[in-house]
Amino acid sequence: MGNILIVAEIQKGKLREATLELASFANKVAGARGGEVKSLVIGSGIGDLASELAGKGGGEVFAADDAALANYNVDAWTQAIRAGVEAAGADLVLISNTPTGWDVAPRIGAALDAGFVSDCFNIEADGGLTLLRRIFNGKLDARIKVNADVVVATMQPGATAAYEGTSDGKVTDLSVDLSGVRSKFVEEKQAEATDVDLTKADIIVSGGRGLGAPEKFKEVIQPLAEALGGAMGASRPVVDAGWLDHPYQVGSSGQVVTPKLYIACGISGAIQHLVGMKGSNFIVAINKDADAPIFEVADVGIVADLFEVVPALTDAIKAAKG
């Protein structure tokens, strides 16, 4: 039985929560099937973070510490992870399904001719490896059986709790051959500041593809938002289509919001959107599809035509306010 290697990710100088979630998964799997948990931290000046991970379920932590690794680079990470897998004697590699993870993990899967499954929300390791994930933008769940000498899986951030407790681990230096690096990190650009800051809104009324056309936002969503004294938001497809600008986008690649009230109109609830609003205090979902994943996170659901319900709701709110 080989070992389990978790690949850490650093964000703003700290270990990502998602990395500690990998530690949870890895230790759970090691408990079920055997093998040791080991980790890989890639970056520059990351000794402290490597020690921290060693104490948080990371086991022996391989530190690929080099000034050339200060910023993410697909070629450098591919080399570093390959070196880490070999050093760790790993036959299971866990990576978080983040923009970095989905960029590099498949390359590792191909390089190792591995069984590869992405964006998993759970792993079962009794009698072989089974990975659970969602398909069709969250509408269906899938159980995937993996049968391979080496398995690479990316785990959905937030799918489990961070590793709890402390552990003993050591830090081992890992040298990485960076001679074949072809791509070049230029810079990281932050989102531009705008007037639209949904993170400050107490009430958000969001519209999705179900609105059907850009003018419907002005006709249907905006009046309800205004009647409630709230802000207007949107799901990704709306912004992709150019109906609204990016600052209105609620989701993992837009705004993550936690208002007191979130009303989702014509939004099916793809995981990227749910990540952006499931922390809201009270969620109302209006969608004509009873199986829409949005109903999984909603407190109140209305399975109906939003073009009937929303205008009626707007009128009722106005009447209630007098």
Partner 1 sequence: MKIVVFLKQVPHSDARLDVNGDETWIKEDGIKFEINSYDTYALEEALRIKDAGEAEVIVVSIGPARVTQALRTALGMGADRAVHIKDSEVDGSDSLGIAKTLAAVVKAESPDLVFAGLMSDDGNFSTVPPMVAELCDMPSATSCLKIEASNGSVTVERELEGGAREVVELPKPCLLAVQTGLNQVRYASLKGIMAAKKKPMDEKTAADLGVSGQVGAGAAKMTIEKIYLPPKGEGAEILSGSTDEIVSALVGKIKEQGLL
Lay out the site mask for partner 1 across 139-158 (x = CB under 8 A, - = otherwise). xxxxxxxxxx--x-------
51/63 Cα distance (integer angstroms): 9
Q: Of the two residues 51 and 258, which places its CB atom closer to partner 1 in the complex? A: 258
Bridge partners, residue 68, by sequence: none
Q: Of the two residues 6 and 310, which places its CB atom closer to partner 1 in the complex? A: 310
Q: Which stretch binds partner 1 (CB under 8 A): 25-33, 34-42, 48-56, 106-114?
A: 106-114
CB of 90 to partner 1, least distance (A): 16
Q: Which of residues 52-71 bind partner 1 (CB under 8 A)?
A: none
CB of 218 to partner 1, least distance (A): 20
Buried b (16+ CB within 10 A) or exposed e, 237-260: bbbeeebbebbbbbbbebbebebe
CB of 66 to partner 1, least distance (A): 18
109 belongs to the binding site for partner 1 (CB under 8 A):
yes
**Residue owning tokens 């690949």:** 7
**Total residues interacting with partner 1, rule: CB under 8 A:** 95
Q: Which of residues 120-139 bind partner 1 (CB under 8 A)?
A: 130-131, 133-139
Lay out the site mask for partner 1 across 73-92 (x = CB under 8 A, - = otherwise). -xx--x--------------
Q: Which of 157, 163, 174 is nearest to 88 (CA)?
A: 174
CB of 182 to partner 1, least distance (A): 4
Lay out the site mask for partner 1 across 226-245 (x = CB under 8 A, - = otherwise). --x-------xx-xxxx---
CB of 159 to partner 1, least distance (A): 14
Q: Which of residues 157-216 bind partner 1 (CB under 8 A)?
A: 182-192, 202-203
CB of 192 to partner 1, least distance (A): 8
166/230 Cα distance (integer angstroms): 44
Cα-based torsion angle of the residue sequence 263, 264, 266, 268 in order, rounded to the nearest 10 degrees: -150
Q: Which of 310, 275, 311 is nearest to 294 (CA)?
A: 275
Q: Of the two residues 173 and 202, which places its CB atom closer to partner 1 in the complex? A: 202
Lay out the site mask for partner 1 across 246-265 (x = CB under 8 A, - = otherwise). xx-x--xxxxx---xx----
280/300 Cα distance (integer angstroms): 13
118 belongs to the binding site for partner 1 (CB under 8 A):
yes
Q: What are the C-alpha distances in Å from 31 to residues 27, 148, 246?
A: 6, 20, 44
312 belongs to the binding site for partner 1 (CB under 8 A):
yes
Q: Which of 294, 262, 264 is nearest to 281 (CA)?
A: 262
Q: Which of 306, 248, 303, 308 is nearest to 277 (CA)?
A: 248
CB of 216 to partner 1, least distance (A): 17
Q: Which of 119, 159, 205, 208 binds partner 1 (CB under 8 A)?
A: 119
Q: Are 215 and 200 in contact (CB under 8 A)?
A: no
114 belongs to the binding site for partner 1 (CB under 8 A):
yes
152/116 Cα distance (integer angstroms): 5
177/179 Cα distance (integer angstroms): 6
| Residue 56 DSSP class | I
116 belongs to the binding site for partner 1 (CB under 8 A):
yes
